[in-house]
Structure 1
Amino acid sequence: MTDTVTAYLDTWNATDAAARRALLDQHWAPGATYSDPLAEVRGHDGISAAIDAVHAQFPGFVFTLVSGPDTHHRHARFQWGLGPTGAEPVVVGFDVLSTDDDGRIAAVLGFLDKVPVAPAT
């Protein structure tokens, strides 16, 4: 499952559409679902669009593993960070992913633990 979590983060870090599509095809089930407080999508196209939206909002930021993964059976939970390379994460979240019988990511439930606050005007 550690390799699966690494592939998951690699997918979220892929800014090149062709590279991301290859990661989705290899590591994600075709009907995979992804749900967090800001998005609920299904399938490779929906997941790729959600990733594009994050890259548009946080250009140049990367996802890193903060803690975990803690795994059992076909499930993994882990905390990730999103921020500039080598810097403290601006966003921190906690995801739980489940794999299908072929070991590909089938479902992800995401939670946001730390989000940036817009300055008061």
Structure 2
Amino acid sequence: MDGGPETPDAEALAQRYLACWNERDPARRAALVAGLWTVDAVYVDPIVAAEGRGAIHDVLATAQRQFPDLVFRPAGRPDGHHHVVRLRWEMAPDGGPAVIVGLAVLVTERGRLRRVFGFLDPVP
């Protein structure tokens, strides 16, 4: 092996990922996306597939419009190995019980998100 695979900082990556989903200001959200995702990143969940930063930003903006009173937060501690982080998350009113829970599999490339596969339970 060439020194071993990159192991991402799961906590830091999860915080940055959730910050993208929670940012309500479009310009700040776009800056977060540009700083975290690769140019050719892909996001896929049961409802949507998005390719590229612009399309991913649009998915985040749509979630903000559909769920304006909910925030994304971790549901447990993320863990990772070999360029991959597993993040359990939930959407809830600030301080309230979860309305939607899910799992995100974050695949990194040089510390940035290259692919994200999302799972929802229940699917809204």
TM-score scaled by length of structure 1: 0.90
Q: Is the 8 A contact 1:83 1:91 kept in 2?
A: yes
Aligned to 1:11: 20
Between 1 and 2, higher relative CO (CA 8 Å, sep ≥ 6) is seen in 2
Matched residues in 2 for 1:15 and 1:33: separation? Answer: 21
**Could you tell me how far 1:26 is from its partner in structure 2?**
1.0
**Structure 2: runs of 5 or more not aligned:** 1-8
Question: Structure 1 vs Structure 2: percent identity of aligned residues?
Answer: 38
Matched residues in 2 for 1:29 and 1:19: separation? Answer: 17
Letter in 2 for 1:7: R
Q: 1:109 aligns with which of 99, 113, 117?
A: 117
Q: 1:42 aligns with which of 51, 57, 64?
A: 51
**Could you tell me how far 1:114 is from its partner in structure 2?**
2.6
Letter in 2 for 1:98: V
RMSD (Å), alpha carbons: 1.1
1:23 is aligned to 2:32? yes
Aligned to 2:89: 80
Q: 1:54 aligns with which of 63, 66, 87?
A: 63
**Could you tell me how far 1:115 is from its partner in structure 2?**
4.2
TM-score scaled by length of structure 2: 0.88
**Structure 1: runs of 5 or more not aligned:** 117-121
**Could you tell me how far 1:83 is from its partner in structure 2?**
1.4
Matched residues in 2 for 1:24 and 1:48: separation? Answer: 7
Deviation beyond 6 Å, 4+ runs, structure 1: none
Residue correspondences, number: 115
Matched residues in 1 for 2:117 and 2:17: separation? Answer: 13
Matched residues in 2 for 1:72 and 1:39: separation? Answer: 26
Q: 2:107 aligns with which of 80, 89, 98?
A: 98
**Could you tell me how far 1:73 is from its partner in structure 2?**
1.4
